């Protein structure tokens, strides 16, 4: 009996072609991923547990595509056709024909594991599964599925229609055709990919989120106010957004989860989440998506809260 399931040396296996995509999670990342896939001509189905998140995602996508039409980046025909390619559902069973499912649900390992458990029996065996996780081990997430060799990290940046980069992360079991298929898809979506090894938070967030956490420490220790910190980094380091404004944009819950993954994954006290960040998340002040974070978004322009 041949127990070696790997292809013989030199044998080339064609990467599977991705003709239809499922997206799990209709939050800020899920709607952005569906947006770029639909504009690239792929039929997309978004699944979320919340019906209102799905209708909000459709409205956001239409609004963002309108903006692209106004800027002559997309024609109105392409927008109309793209929006018609997007379907939504609260039932994972609708993904039974997808070639690739991209999970972009809440950044909590137990949430993602539970999703894979319920989702995978609905998928065809050849379906690839990607996570848009910002920080969690792809190897560990892949091992929680029935298809670790077809599991991969595909980390889009926020806002997806605007940001060029996709980080691609192989778990230890990810096979080459899966990697090639996802890399080809990133290109088809007009993105540039960078390969990261499977370390906590990968490349971008390993560098970016500790900087945000440090900005929260600077606020916590009274080094500066919210506007002093953001103005300093915008005008002093030429960052397009201040770190606290950026934290609100990413979502403080997501920032905290990433710091916790770094802290636990690398066992280094330099990644300790700032207690003020913890407190904001405990208060439900997640940033833009809840209307309040380091800024209060009920006013225009948003008012710094400290
Ligand atoms: P979000 O809070 O805006 O959206 C998460 C969505 O997941 C919600 O609509 C929620 O209803 C849905 N969800 C939760 N449990 C579910 C389940 N069991 N089945 C289906 N849907 C479920 O979060 P987000 O900012 O879009 O982040 C999503 C993922 O993308 C996270 O893994 C995050 O780390 C990653 N990410 C976020 C950013 C960012 O800047 N926010 C950037 C890159 C990657």
Dump the DSSP string for the chain: -----SPPTTPPPPPPP---EEEE--SHHHHHHHHHHHHTT--EEEE-S-HHHHHHHHHHHHHHHHHHHHTTSS-HHHHHHHHHTEEEES-GGGGTT-SEEEE---S-HHHHHHHHHHHGGGS-TT-EEEE--SSS-HHHHHHTSS-GGGEEEEEE-SSTTT--EEEEEE-TT--HHHHHHHHHHHHHTT-EEEEE-SSTTTTHHHHHHHHHHHHHHHHHTTSS-HHHHHHHHHHHS--SS-HHHHHHHH-HHHHHHHHHHHHHHHT-GGGPPPHHHHHHHHTT--BGGGTBSSEETTSSSPEE--
Residue 228 Cα, ligand 1 centroid: separation in angstroms? 30
Rg (CA), the chain: 20
205 is catalytic: yes
Residue 103 Cα, ligand 1 centroid: separation in angstroms? 8
pTM: 0.91
Between CA 238 and CA 227 the distance in angstroms is 15
Residue 80 Cα, ligand 1 centroid: separation in angstroms? 26
167 is catalytic: yes
pLDDT (0 to 100) of residue 3: 46
155 is catalytic: yes
Does ligand 1 have an atom closer than 6 angstroms to the CB of 32? Answer: no
Between CA 53 and CA 69 the distance in angstroms is 24
pLDDT (0 to 100) of residue 12: 67
pLDDT of the chain along its 306 residues, tens only? 444 445 566 666 788 899 999 999 999 999 999 999 999 999 999 999 999 999 999 999 999 999 999 999 999 999 999 999 999 999 999 999 999 999 999 999 999 999 999 999 999 999 999 999 999 999 999 999 999 999 999 999 999 999 999 999 999 999 999 999 999 999 999 999 999 999 999 999 999 999 999 999 999 999 999 999 999 999 999 999 999 999 999 999 999 999 999 999 999 999 999 999 999 999 999 999 999 999 999 999 999 999
Number of the ligand 1 atom closest to the C-alpha atom of 250: 40
Does ligand 1 have an atom closer than 6 angstroms to the CB of 111? Answer: yes
Between CA 201 and CA 97 the distance in angstroms is 31
Residue 29 Cα, ligand 1 centroid: separation in angstroms? 6
158 is catalytic: no
Which among 261, 175, 258, 165 has a CA at the least distance from the CA of 212?
258
Does ligand 1 have an atom closer than 6 angstroms to the CB of 162? Answer: no
pLDDT (0 to 100) of residue 16: 87
Between CA 156 and CA 134 the distance in angstroms is 9
């Amino acid at each position: 009996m041949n127990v070696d399931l790997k292809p013989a040396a030199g044998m080339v296996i064609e990467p599977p072609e991705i003709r239809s995509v499922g997206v799990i999670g209709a939050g800020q990342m899920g709607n952005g991923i569906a947006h770029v896939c639909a504009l690239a001509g792929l039929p997309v189905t978004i699944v979320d547990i919340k019906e209102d998140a799905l209708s909000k995602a459709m409205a956001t996508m239409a609004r963002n595509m309108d903006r692209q039409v106004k800027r002559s980046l997309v024609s109105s025909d392409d927008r109309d056709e793209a929006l018609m390619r997007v379907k939504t559902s609260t039932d994972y069973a609708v993904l039974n024909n997808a070639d690739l499912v991209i999970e972009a649900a809440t950044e909590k390992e137990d949430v993602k594991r539970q999703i894979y458990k319920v989702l995978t029996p609905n998928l065809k065996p050849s379906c690839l599964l990607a996570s848009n996780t910002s920080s969690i081990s792809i190897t560990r997430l892949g091992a929680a599925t029935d298809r670790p060799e077809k599991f991969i990290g595909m980390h889009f940046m926020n806002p997806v229609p605007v940001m060029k980069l996709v980080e691609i992360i192989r778990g230890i079991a990810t096979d080459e055709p899966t990697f090639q298929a996802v890399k080809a898809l990133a290109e088809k979506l007009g993105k540039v990919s960078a390969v990261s090894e499977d370390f906590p938070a990968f490349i971008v967030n390993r560098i970016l989120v500790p900087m945000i956490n440090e900005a929260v420490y600077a606020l916590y220790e009274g080094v500066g106010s919210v506007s002093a910190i953001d103005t300093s980094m915008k005008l002093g380091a030429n960052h397009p957004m201040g770190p606290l404004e950026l934290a609100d944009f990413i979502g403080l819950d997501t920032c905290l989860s990433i710091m916790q993954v770094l802290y636990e994954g690398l066992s280094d006290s330099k990644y300790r989440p700032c207690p003020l960040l913890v407190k904001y998340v405990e208060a439900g002040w997640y940033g833009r998506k809840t209307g309040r974070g380091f800024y209060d978004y009920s006013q225009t322009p948003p008012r710094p809260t400290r």
